[in-house]
Amino acid sequence: MSARSEPRLLEHVALDGERLHTVFTPGRGTPLLLCNDFIANLDVLDEFVAALDRPVLCFDLPGIGTSADVSRFRRMSALTRLLARLLDHYRLDTPVDVMGIGWGGLLAQQFAHGHRDRVRRLVLAGTSSGQLMFPGRLASLMRLARPGALGAIAPDGQNARSVFGGRRNDECGAIAQAMARATAPTNRGYAAQLYALAGYSSLPWLHRLNVPTLIMAGDDDAIVPMVNARVLALLLPQAKLKIIRGGGHWFVLERTDEVVRILDEFLESRFAPSAADQDSTF
């Protein structure tokens, strides 16, 4: 039996007064810790995780998905301590790869900054440096400002495209299908993620984050415009930037096969950044 054929391990893990819904998917190679986007529960990423031929650890933060409600509001740095304890729980003692999508990209940056010895490589998808960012389309941000389920704002490909960006309704239909599995956060879960974000910026220390990093961005992202990825690539010492042409904010769902190929090439390659890596296919 291959490692990938083993069943997923679903748990509710008690950590520092919180109870997190987690899923560990077996596989070969270095485990990938996956940090999800704002108020998105891990079920949204089912197809993406299934396409990854590597061990993947996903989690729902407090008040998200089926995790218990928030017991204590935490800043981003305090949330990363929960992640370190989560790795301990799964006995992942050697450095892991960390990927963050959107809001989860901020958490991933902070984890790499505060727990550098636990991160082998970093992947940032559709994200920015925090509140000091180039903002997305106002209409899209306003639709995301309501603390309901993501599926309610993206019931079909056309609506998903109008909110998140992406140039093709058929590709954005995959977003709508994934968002159909989204559940509404609790009021405290929604507020806790805003609280962690408030005043947060990685800009002061990005130039010291010396970890091999892949930055991916959709050039039609309505939530986090592509210019934010270029800022990250400019400041991070060991960064590769890959632009997903025609991709919106949820390009990992629109272009799963393409993203997995790029991700595999980065995680399995010998890393040597150069000036050509500002939009390379390495």
Residue 214 above 80 pLDDT?
Answer: yes
| pLDDT the model gives residue 5 | 65
Quote the CA–CA distance of 188 and 72 in Å, as a whole number. Answer: 9
Q: Given strand 56-59, what is the order of strands in its sheet?
A: 9-15, 18-25, 56-59, 32-35, 96-101, 119-125, 213-218, 239-244
Residue 147's pLDDT band (cuts 50, 70, 90): confident
Quote the CA–CA distance of 164 and 136 in Å, as a whole number. Answer: 10
| pLDDT the model gives residue 2 | 42
pLDDT in tens, 81-136: 999 999 999 999 999 999 999 999 999 999 999 999 999 999 999 999 999 999 99
Q: What is the pTM assigned to this prediction?
A: 0.94
| pLDDT the model gives residue 265 | 96
Residue 276 above 80 pLDDT?
Answer: no
pLDDT in tens, 19-75: 999 999 999 999 999 999 999 999 999 999 999 999 999 999 999 999 999 999 999
Q: What percent of the chain has pLDDT over 90?
A: 88
DSSP 8-class letter at 2: -
| pLDDT the model gives residue 215 | 98
Beta bridge mates, 214? 123, 240
Length of the chain: 282
| pLDDT the model gives residue 6 | 76
- The pLDDT of 160-184, averaged and rounded, is 94
DSSP string of 217-230? EETTBSSS-THHHH
| pLDDT the model gives residue 4 | 61
| pLDDT the model gives residue 282 | 37
Helices (H) and strands (E) in the chain, counts: 10, 8
pLDDT in tens, 253-266: 999 999 999 999 99
Q: Average per-residue pLDDT in the chain?
A: 93
Q: What percent of the chain has pLDDT over 70?
A: 94
Residue 272's pLDDT band (cuts 50, 70, 90): low
Amino acid occupying residue 106? L
Half-sphere exposure of 15 (CA within 13 A, CB side): 24
Residue 270 above 80 pLDDT?
Answer: no
Residue 1's pLDDT band (cuts 50, 70, 90): very low
| pLDDT the model gives residue 71 | 98
| pLDDT the model gives residue 232 | 98
